[in-house]
Amino acid sequence: MQKINITKRIIAEIKPDLKSKFKVKTIGLFGSVARAEDDQHSDIDLLVEFFEPVSFFHFLDLEEYLKDKLKQDMDLVTKNALKPHIGKQILQEVTYL
């Protein structure tokens, strides 16, 4: 099974926890996995938006939770953290899960 399908399945399974425990409003996939251009060394890039502001430690807890569930290297970013020169491209290619 491709990494994109595995990621989508796992996120769907844990989505209730993401909302209730981590205050996640939306989570999306971008980068090489989303474009189906990934290889065995590719990490998973996720874009997250919260229902309300969260602390840095809350963000780190979410990142660790996702790494544990996905069993893959991953990068987690918020919309606010996107750099202007690449943020537009990410927002155009993101696939919300």
Residue 92 belongs to domain spanning: 3-96
Write down the pLDDT at residue 40.
86
Residues of the chain with pLDDT under 50: 1
Domain of 68: which CATH number? 3.30.460.10
Q: Let me know: does 63 contact 37? Beta carbons within 8 Å.
A: no
Instruction: Tell me how many degrees the CA angle 97-72-83 measures, rounded to the nearest 5.
Output: 65
Q: Let me know: does 58 contact 22? Beta carbons within 8 Å.
A: yes
Q: How many domains does the chain have?
A: 1
Write down the pLDDT at residue 61.
98
pLDDT mean across residues, the chain: 94
Write down the pLDDT at residue 34.
92
User: Comparing C-alpha atoms, which of 73, 84, 93 is closest to residue 28?
Assistant: 93
